[in-house]
Structure 1
Amino acid sequence: MMVVRERILETALKMFRTYGVKGVTMFDIARDCGISKKTVYEHFEDKQALIDEGMQQLLNNHINYFTQCLQTTDNAIEEMVRNMKYVTNMAKTLNPVMLHEIQKYHPDTWRSIESFKSDGMLGNIKENLKRGMAEGLYRQNLHIDIVARMRQLQLEAAFDPIQYPADQFEMHEVMEQVTAHFVLGIATIRGHKLVNQYLQIKEEE
């Protein structure tokens, strides 16, 4: 029974990410799953329930990845670069229309995304800063609350089509540039060597 439910959720999430939430109907999801619309309604009360659960799953995947990344990386700089690559890859498969429509038509779901950004994302950045300072890779005199918010604003700007229109900028290039700029600004001399290594920046002669 659970398998069908998971398949519906997975299909819905894939369609939302591709087409946005407004244009996708319960019938579309049922057809894509190869089941009846009645079966979809047996598992999910309405489209709102699917949107809520789908977004929650997306956010949980993020948190799980960040946690795993913290545990499996050698240092704070590797962790930051790996997180950046994860977020960039995720963005490639996400139609920005989806987030725009959720913000406009599904304010409750949007609130959970906002709280993820303020708690999950910001918390993750702060932990990374503390880790880098403890490892001697980031400067000791960083004001964590200020610097973490600056990083969060950079990430949000990279996703903003007004700041970086998709027809002019490649998301992964924007992310690599702003990340290099940010991390070189907070790194110690020892940290700089690692940044150049992880981001494959050629050292100037």
Structure 2
Amino acid sequence: MVVKDRILETALRMFRVYGVKGVTMFDIARDCGISKKTVYEHYVDKQALIDEGMQLLLRNHTAFLQECNALADNAIDELVRASQYIVGLARTLNPVMLFEIQKYHPDIWNNIEKFKGDCILTGIKENLKRGMTEGLYRQNLQTDIVARMRQLQLEAAFDPIQYPADQFDKQQVMEQVTAHFILGIATLKGHKLANQYLQIKEED
């Protein structure tokens, strides 16, 4: 791995664990085993590292959702896979990082908000259309309304105010919210398929 990529990977990992405000360029250099001067040779300041780190995170998220869409057997399978990915991501991401980006780095936060609309919301709409075509979701769904409802569900599931970490397990919250969503939009055929996925997950 080239030095620049190693610096970025290290910085992103530290941001996700400790937040962005408390991590210094010296911390990143020390964790990489290089000098601070070397870090500055590749990144002009911490703002540049945060910006590129968030871009990498969003690109990886987009790539996974595209892969998920291609590999999933059906719309319900796709939705369940995506939910599991989000849980895994949330477990390695300190909510403080997003809070600090929103407060101290508004330009980067605007890119995240744009991503929510361009990628997440659009992806949910496409999943709804796929499920309706496959006969798994009800035909009378108003996708613009239901997609936004699902997006709000996802955001609420990881809101520490709504579901404090010391009282709720993120995976259980996501499983309950996702099951409720699927069963609420599914046809009888979709219900049967959804129950199969839920039973498989219980056995695991």
Mark yes or no: TM-score above 0.5: yes
* Match of residue 191 from structure 1: 190
- 1:166 is displaced (CA, Å) by 0.6
Give the counterpart letter for 1:26 in structure 2: M
Please say if 1:142 is aligned against 2:141. yes
> How many residue pairs are counted as aligned between the two chains?
201
Cα 1:182–1:201 change in 2 (3 A) is farther
List gaps (5 residues or longer) in structure 2: none
Deviations 1:48-75 (A, max 9, x none): 0000000010011110000001000110
Distance in 2 of aligned mates of 1:143 and 1:19: 40
CA contact (8 A) 1:81 1:199 kept: no
Deviations 1:82-141 (A, max 9, x none): 000000000000001000000111111111111111111000000000000000000000
Q: Give runs of ≥4 in structure 1 deviating > 3 Å.
A: none
Deviations 1:127-165 (A, max 9, x none): 000000000000000000000000000000011111111
Distance in 2 of aligned mates of 1:200 and 1:151: 22
What RMSD over aligned residues (CA atoms) do the two structures have, in Å? Answer: 1.1
- 1:201 is displaced (CA, Å) by 7.8
Distance in 2 of aligned mates of 1:168 and 1:119: 33
CA contact (8 A) 1:122 1:152 kept: yes
CA contact (8 A) 1:8 1:29 kept: yes
- 1:198 is displaced (CA, Å) by 1.1
- 1:188 is displaced (CA, Å) by 0.4
SS at match of 1:97: helix
Q: TM-score, normalised by structure 1?
A: 0.96
**How do 1:37-186 and structure 2 match up within 5 A?**
37-186=36-185
- 1:196 is displaced (CA, Å) by 0.9
* Match of residue 18 from structure 1: 17
* Match of residue 6 from structure 1: 5
Distance in 2 of aligned mates of 1:96 and 1:114: 16
SS at match of 2:199: coil
- % identity of equivalent residues: 76
Q: TM-score, normalised by structure 2?
A: 0.97
Give the counterpart letter for 2:168 in structure 1: F
Distance in 1 of aligned mates of 2:200 and 2:50: 40
